[in-house]
A and B are shown apart, each in its own frame.
Chain A
């Protein structure tokens, strides 16, 4: 791969002009809300409770493995929020050392606040923090993934979500990571508890995987969260922007959503701003983002996310437990 270079001024202005036309012309002839095809598979890693592999044309390839471990609650009576948040551990690594090693935190696609370990005592900043945030955000009616991790009184599952980027680029798309984590979570199965729920003793489990319990019930909602990058150029809004489109954009958001019913409607669980380029103009010439555009960007995500998450879920379930 050639080293990342900034786009030249003529390129930027060409792209900016093409993308702000009505209707816009994307370089790969996509419609504004169309995603690039991805290659995805799940449940392929042995020794993992759930796993997924996702390849994208530009962002490269990503493998996620999820392992669950039985752990005793740290405090017997009052489990604090901070304690509970430690039940899920996310780590993002770049294969071959790359730009940043384990623990130093991989900054993802310029999501602001996800650039390093700041103000968090986990010491694992960047993408890991951002991914975990989406997971913990929960759903309607106070639903939380953490409740599903409770085994019995005094015991819980500890989830280790390990993300490995195989082809490091300077800007791993947030979509790549979130798709892979979404699929892996959706394919995660935990052994079925055979001992009673309300006993403090060490829990026992069935060793039959055929009756194991899915982490996210396939028929209930919410489904695992998913983050969609969206950028705005002029008055147009684009989903799944390419690297060049991000560089041209005037505003960018990463919207985290989870599916709330079978109709495909979504709940917004988080919005983060994404660092974008110069917006076709000169440095420091960038326009502000008004409320209408902001609403348009989030709405575009909400509208399309249902189809995307459902599509991913269907693919996941089709590949599940295959021979």
Chain B
């Protein structure tokens, strides 16, 4: 059958009586006594253990011994709560407690930029001296004309000519990899691409996963050796959940090699900057394209199955996918394929 139709997962009612391992009931007071049975409707119970899920507006606890943390607020005392001040959740997420501090960790959240993050973004708008970039954050980021590599010298001042030619560097829809340089008071990020590591992205595919699914690592640019004649593939794991997978290209600064020594430093920079804003892909072999698609599927499957994406998991997942592929797996139409690959990868990690 060309289509796979899955029945929705049955609705699971939370079991009130079951104590999770490690779950701490907030109803317990200091002596370990269980709070009175009647003081809260029983359906409220389920969420109020550490690790349980609460929704916005749900009372987490009325016990004054707890301090409110992120994702909560104090409600005004009212007759409903019996004149007590209560801690109310402002997010949909899980309760976590650190000593006496209660906070809610959201189930799904937008990326909050931090200085130094490597992000992949897409140009939304071209303005006079800057670009607006979508980085999946609450505010779109800005990229100033002065914080990119301008052609003809890596660190020259921008001129009015550059302003007029702003679209030759980046125009709407272009993908780029950049670093968060500064943050404004309201959390809006300002990016920079003043390194040959950063800049326009080509030769590959773009995909998105949840921002929280990318583990922060030392380096977010991975280079992987692929099988089946795919050659080397670069993976830009943006901290914001935007991912770009492309054919490996040697950074232009290294391309010289022994015979390239004759090129002067300034000449090299000029060449680099001209090529950096090109919109033309290199020649990419079908083998590389197949492996890029496979890596994209692995990353998508990892994120979908709740496994954080990092270098190790991408490698293990890719290996697992290759093994499955040799056994004749049809990834595309098999809804369970991703899950099997992720399970195989996790098993590999446990084995070490």
**Residue in B2, B123, B300 whose CB lies within 8 Å of A307:** B2
A6 contacts B172, C-beta separation under 8 Å: yes
B1-46 interface (Cβ within 8 A of A): 1-8
- B112 CB to closest chain A CB, in angstroms? 15
Q: Does A285 contact B (CB under 8 A)?
A: no
Q: Does A39 contact B (CB under 8 A)?
A: yes
B7 contacts A315, C-beta separation under 8 Å: yes
- What residues of chain A lie closer than 8 Å to B175, measured between beta carbons? 8, 10-11
Chain B residue at smallest Cβ distance from A23 = B286
Contact pattern, A 288-319, Cβ under 8 Å of B = 1, otherwise 0 = 00000000000000001001101110010001
Question: Whole-angstrom distance between the alpha carbons of A138 and B122 in the complex?
Answer: 46
A5 contacts B134, C-beta separation under 8 Å: yes
Chain A residue at smallest Cβ distance from B330 = A31
A2 contacts B2, C-beta separation under 8 Å: no
B279 contacts A10, C-beta separation under 8 Å: yes
- What residues of chain B lie closer than 8 Å to A35, measured between beta carbons? 2-4, 333
- What residues of chain A lie closer than 8 Å to B279, measured between beta carbons? 8-10
Interface size on A, residues (CB 8 A): 41
B173 contacts A6, C-beta separation under 8 Å: yes
Question: Whole-angstrom distance between the alpha carbons of A156 and B297 in the complex?
Answer: 51
Contact pattern, A 14-36, Cβ under 8 Å of B = 1, otherwise 0 = 11011001000111111101110
Q: Does B151 contact A (CB under 8 A)?
A: no
B5 contacts A311, C-beta separation under 8 Å: yes
Q: Does B289 contact A (CB under 8 A)?
A: yes
- A305 CB to closest chain B CB, in angstroms? 9
With A29-B332, A31-B332 in contact, is A38–B297 under 8 Å at CB?
no
**Residue in A26, A34, A40 whose CB lies within 8 Å of B6:** A40
**Residue in A2, A9, A29, A319 whose CB lies within 8 Å of B331:** A29
- A322 CB to closest chain B CB, in angstroms? 10
- A44 CB to closest chain B CB, in angstroms? 9
**Residue in A5, A33, A308, A312 whose CB lies within 8 Å of B172:** A5
Q: Does A46 contact B (CB under 8 A)?
A: no
Q: Does B294 contact A (CB under 8 A)?
A: yes
Q: Does A260 contact B (CB under 8 A)?
A: no
- A314 CB to closest chain B CB, in angstroms? 8
Chain B residue at smallest Cβ distance from A10 = B202
Contact pattern, B 283-322, Cβ under 8 Å of A = 1, otherwise 0 = 0101001100110110010000000000000000000000
Question: Whole-angstrom distance between the alpha carbons of A33 and B333 in the complex?
Answer: 10
Chain B residue at smallest Cβ distance from A21 = B286
- B89 CB to closest chain A CB, in angstroms? 22
- What residues of chain A lie closer than 8 Å to B300, measured between beta carbons? 28
- What residues of chain B lie closer than 8 Å to A29, measured between beta carbons? 293-294, 297, 331-332
- What residues of chain A lie closer than 8 Å to B88, measured between beta carbons? none
- B274 CB to closest chain A CB, in angstroms? 16
* B66-74, B177-185, B203-211 - interface stretch: B203-211
With A28-B297, A29-B297, A40-B7 in contact, is A15–B205 under 8 Å at CB?
yes
Chain A residue at smallest Cβ distance from B290 = A25
B7 contacts A34, C-beta separation under 8 Å: no
A37 contacts B5, C-beta separation under 8 Å: yes
Contact pattern, B 42-79, Cβ under 8 Å of A = 1, otherwise 0 = 00000000000000000000000000000000000000
**Residue in B2, B172, B204 whose CB lies within 8 Å of A34:** B2
Q: Does A3 contact B (CB under 8 A)?
A: yes
B1 contacts A10, C-beta separation under 8 Å: no
Q: Does B281 contact A (CB under 8 A)?
A: yes
B3 contacts A37, C-beta separation under 8 Å: yes
Q: Does B239 contact A (CB under 8 A)?
A: no
Q: Name the residue among A2, A5, A33 with the largest chain B CB count within 10 angstroms.
A: A2
B124 contacts A41, C-beta separation under 8 Å: no
- A158 CB to closest chain B CB, in angstroms? 30
A2 contacts B335, C-beta separation under 8 Å: no
- What residues of chain B lie closer than 8 Å to A30, measured between beta carbons? 331-333
B284 contacts A14, C-beta separation under 8 Å: yes
- B266 CB to closest chain A CB, in angstroms? 27
- What residues of chain B lie closer than 8 Å to A8, measured between beta carbons? 122, 173-175, 201-202, 279
A32-87 interface (Cβ within 8 A of B): 33-35, 37-41, 53, 55
Question: Whole-angstrom distance between the alpha carbons of A11 and B203 in the complex?
Answer: 7
A37 contacts B1, C-beta separation under 8 Å: no
B284 contacts A10, C-beta separation under 8 Å: no
Q: Name the residue among A13, A55, A307 with the largest chain B CB count within 10 angstroms.
A: A13
Q: Name the residue among A10, A33, A310 with the largest chain B CB count within 10 angstroms.
A: A10
- A198 CB to closest chain B CB, in angstroms? 42
Q: Name the residue among B207, B289, B290, B296 with the largest chain A CB count within 10 angstroms.
A: B289
Question: Whole-angstrom distance between the alpha carbons of A319 and B294 in the complex?
Answer: 35
- B269 CB to closest chain A CB, in angstroms? 22
With A25-B293, A307-B1 in contact, is A3–B134 under 8 Å at CB?
yes
Return the 10 tightest CB-CB contacts between A and B, nearest first.
Answer: A30-B332, A10-B202, A37-B335, A35-B3, A37-B4, A6-B173, A29-B331, A9-B279, A34-B333, A8-B174
* Chain A interfacial positions (CB closer than 8 Å to B): 2-3, 5-11, 13-15, 17-18, 21, 25-31, 33-35, 37-41, 53, 55, 239, 304, 307-308, 310-312, 315, 319
6 residue pairs of the A-B complex, CB under 8 angstroms, read A9-B279, A11-B206, A21-B289, A30-B333, A40-B5, A311-B5
Q: A14-B202, A315-B7 are in contact. List 7 more A-B contacts (CB 8 A).
A: A6-B172, A13-B280, A21-B289, A38-B3, A308-B1, A308-B2, A310-B1
* Chain B interfacial positions (CB closer than 8 Å to A): 1-8, 122-124, 134, 136, 172-175, 200-208, 279-281, 284, 286, 289-290, 293-294, 296-297, 300, 330-333, 335
